[in-house]
Amino acid sequence: MSSTQSTDELLFVGKKEDLISAQRTVVSLQGRDVLIIYHEGEFYAIDSYCYHSGSSLETGDIEELNNKLCIICPKHKYKISLCDGEGLYRARDRSQSPPPLRWFSKGVKQRVHPIIEIQGELYLLLNLGKEITFIFIKSSWGRDPIPP
């Protein structure tokens, strides 16, 4: 089950203009490395190391997959939604004939953190929930495809 515990305090991560210039920055907050990403006019904050094997996500490509902006882990190509941390994979939907390719949830989530701007400075509310959230969804083939 998902846990959404967070710290009660806002943690300063940097000046907005500096983080825009940097595009990607890793900050260490209360013993956790968090990757701050500025992409297409939005800020995202996600744990810096991939849930799969601990590889750094800092140099991962960003792509839109199934209408979700995702970072691709450079080591094993795991696809992780920047908004909610959902792990995605593409496979054949065997519930249909012929089976089309669809995006599915792995049921695993990378920890993401809310980020807010106050007078040109960015603050983060550190998410202390469990690193990995398992969601089990039953269907005739396994997991249900993610709606477009």
The pLDDT score that the predictor gives to residue 129 is 73
Written as tens digits, the pLDDT of the chain (148 aa) is 233 444 568 999 999 999 999 999 999 999 899 999 999 999 999 999 998 888 999 999 999 998 999 999 999 999 999 999 999 999 998 888 998 999 999 988 899 999 999 999 999 999 877 544 333 333 334 444 454 4
Q: What are phi and psi of 135, to 5 degrees?
A: -120, 120
Domains, the chain: 10-125 (2.102.10.10)
The alpha carbons of the chain give a radius of gyration, in whole angstroms, of: 16
Kind plus residue range of the DSSP H or E element containing 16: helix 16-22
How much is the pLDDT for 137? Answer: 38
pLDDT given at position 89:
93
Can you give the pLDDT at residue 133? Answer: 39
pTM of this prediction?
0.80
pLDDT at 88: 94
- Go through 92-124 and write b for each residue having 16 or more CB atoms within 10 A of its CB, e for each that does not: ebeeeeeeeebbbbbebbbbbbebeeeeebbeb
Query: Can you say how many angstroms the Cα of residue 14 is from the centroid of all Cα atoms in its chain?
Result: 20
